[in-house]
Amino acid sequence: MSGRLPLQLHIPMPLSRPGQSPRFDHINLSAAGEVRRPDPCTPEREVRDLPQLLVRVLDDAGRAVGPWNPVLPDGILMQALRAMMQTRIFEDRMFRAHRQGKTSFFMKSTGEEAIGVAQALALAPDDMCFPTYRVQGWLIARGYPLVDMMNQVYSNAHDPLKGRQLPVMYSARDYGFYSLSGNLGNRFGHAVGWAMASAYKGDHRIALGIVGEGTTAEGGFHEAMTFASVYRAPVILAVTNNQWAISSYAGIAGAEETTFAAKATGYGMPGLRVDGNDVLAVWAATCWAAERARQNCGPSLIEFLTYRAAGHSTSDDPTRYRPADEAAHWPLGDPIARLKQHLIIQGLWSEARHVQLEAELQDEVRAVQKEAEAIGTLGQSKPPLDEMFEDVFKEADWRLIEQRRELGL
């Protein structure tokens, strides 16, 4: 046909690349306190505006404002601050330990600490989180022993996972933290099944499933959303949108024309878009969705808008694909700095006490690291070799017994 331009294949590209000025003007933000807070059991058709808005509690001055303010006790806020700071310090030290050759791999959650920490504290101890590898704050907020996290990272003789797993792929059942693996999106559906089981048993427990924005492209995301919706599973499905899936920006995952929260609409569940660097907003949204789930009103999807301030992993160099100073321009700031500011304007905290706490936590983590390294770092120490053959099945079959013998065990 004449008169028509040839078709063109569209390849999404981020607004800025290395050497260019960071730009985030494509990200729609609402003012703190601006978004309404409907009753958690409101039917989905009445909350279809929410996925395009942004639930925020802390304003630029650090005040907690609006209907989503969870009005938390001071002690809880301090607990959250401490856990977020400890998470960052822990991760920085482990990242350095990798550079020193003490382990093979590590991943940081820098800039995303508010999400795991607030969720860990807001949900009930017997709820279950189906995490990604970037939710270490959950374990730290719930008091999982730091030394065990380090032993796992070092795969040493005291590694709780017996040296079988890549660093940061923790499993901590007693802390409501489901076993991680490297296959993205697979456990989103496990969260739904776990929640269905709780409903089947007539219990009161709920599940939290988490994926990154890149993983929303996996089929497992769609399957989990479908099953959650069909069976009204008591589950909170969360998308941590940190803008980057390794080197691919969120547009490659489908965010150019819409939000990830908006995906909820097609499944008939409410979608919330929440400031992921605002610990109070994360808390409030998690509780809203938890209340909805516990009242048998079904699942919800929450997009936590945040920014992956560090590289994807120790194997990644983000300056190869994004401006080096992009994190500093992220409009939602830093979650620790924002909570600190909030506590200071409330008269609960000061710069001096913050510096002091930071030093205390540094000492604490350093002491734990010494303890872990006394057990051993990767290759210096490892669990008993026969552990390699355990837990493949409940009981080893003849193959495993023979193969263990082949190794002289």
Query: Do residues 18 and 321 make contact, with C-beta atoms less than 8 angstroms apart?
Result: yes
DSSP state of 202: T
Q: State yes or no: residue 194 binds other proteins (CB under 8 A).
A: yes
Q: How far apart are CA 86 and CA 139, in angstroms?
A: 11
Residue with tokens 């030394």, as numbered in its chain = 147
Q: Among residues 146, 191, 211, 253, which is the contact residue for other proteins, using CB under 8 A?
A: 191
**Site residues for other proteins, window 76-135 (CB under 8 A)?**
128, 130
Which positions ≥6 away from 67 have C-beta within 8 Å? Answer: 33, 35, 36, 37
Q: Which stretch binds other proteins (CB under 8 A): 43-51, 172-180, 343-351, 373-381?
A: 172-180
Q: State yes or no: residue 186 binds other proteins (CB under 8 A).
A: yes
Residue type, 238: A
Minimum distance between the CB of residue 25 and other proteins, rounded to whole angstroms? 38
Q: Among residues 69, 165, 242, 277, which is the contact residue for other proteins, using CB under 8 A?
A: 165
Our CB check for other proteins shows the closer of 10 and 393 to be 393
Q: 144: closest CA among 160, 165, 156? A: 160
Q: Which stretch binds other proteins (CB under 8 A): 22-30, 180-188, 252-260, 263-271?
A: 180-188
Q: How far apart are CA 212 and CA 197, in angstroms?
A: 25
Q: Among residues 188, 283, 330, 349, which is the contact residue for other proteins, using CB under 8 A?
A: 188
Q: State yes or no: residue 230 binds other proteins (CB under 8 A).
A: yes
CB atoms under 10 Å from CB of 2, counted, come to: 3
Minimum distance between the CB of residue 222 and other proteins, rounded to whole angstroms? 8
Q: Which stretch binds other proteins (CB under 8 A): 118-126, 160-168, 247-255, 292-300?
A: 160-168
Our CB check for other proteins shows the closer of 106 and 249 to be 106
Q: How far apart are CA 336 and CA 84, in angstroms?
A: 7
Any idea how long the chain is?
409
Which positions ≥6 away from 10 have C-beta within 8 Å? Answer: none
Q: Where do contacts with other proteins occur on this chain (CB under 8 A)?
A: 128, 130, 160-162, 164-165, 169, 171-173, 178-181, 183, 186-198, 200-201, 207, 219-220, 222-224, 226-227, 230, 390-394, 397-398
